[in-house]
Amino acid sequence: MKDSLIVVSGGMDSITLLYEYADRIALGVSFDYGANHNAREIPFAHLHCERLGIRHIVIPLAFMKEYFKSSLLSGGEAIPEGHYADENMKSTVVPFRNGIMLSIACGIAESNGLKRVLIANHGGDHAIYPDCRSSFIEAMNQAMREGTYEHIEILAPYTHITKSDIARRGKRLQVNYAETWSCYKGGEKHCGKCGTCVERKEALHDAQIDDPTEYED
């Protein structure tokens, strides 16, 4: 039964979730909020939705780039290099990004007669991103249920697993990770040095997947 909407960026996590729950997903929604990498990610979201016969739409959120402070919205040169565990990665936080996206996705879901909103936050995000943690998801889920006639719910099955676990699921699903984007700098190739690139390399290595990514280094 196609009862769900997915927030799909075009990255490894959301594309894996897209394939894992394809039989339940009626609509894929991407958000263009002016991030350095949106132009690289979103075409992959459209590609995979089209391949699976899932309608895909892009919602523009240009106001976020204008009014929000984040290195993710300030050009590729502003993105710090290193691991997500490093303190400097906090500069990549876009304040309340998932809250804004989930709110919009909730309204779109109810407008289209859908019951659930899928999001691919995962355990590796918890240290840096407050709106990826289980406590946030639970609170947002409650707000969405209470704020809609149809009691729209969040389905976030990756909340307590790692990106490596997600890559292992993708391997079983035969997801082609060459057709995904991770790098926060948004250049012609993955930089290989920012937090998302480092995490991508580790996840593919741990899942014993030959890394198909073109890196600058």
**Measured between alpha carbons, how far is 40 from 88 in angstroms, rounded to an integer?**
24
Q: Is 15 annotated as a binding residue?
A: yes
Consult the annotation and say whether 12 binds a ligand.
Answer: yes
186: left (phi over 0), alpha (psi -120 to 50) or beta: left
Q: Does 140 count as an annotated binding residue? A: no
Say if residue 92 carries a ligand binding annotation.
no
Q: Is 16 annotated as a binding residue?
A: yes
Question: Is 197 part of any known ligand binding site?
Answer: yes
User: Does 49 count as an annotated binding residue?
Assistant: no
8 annotated ligand binder:
yes
- In which residue are the tokens 């990610």 written? 41
Token output for 85: 């565990």
The answer to whether 147 is a known ligand-binding residue is no
Query: Any binding-site annotation on 17?
Result: yes
Q: 86: annotated binding-site residue? A: no
Please report, for residues 55, 89, 148, the alpha-carbon distance to residue 46 in angstroms, rounded to integers and kept in the order given.
9, 28, 28
Distance CA 19, CA 25 (A): 9
81 within 8 A of 193, measured Cβ to Cβ:
yes
- Going by the annotation, the residues of the binding site for ATP are 8-18
- Going by the annotation, the residues of the binding site are 8-18, 183, 191, 194, 197
- Going by the annotation, the residues of the binding site for Zn(2+) are 183, 191, 194, 197
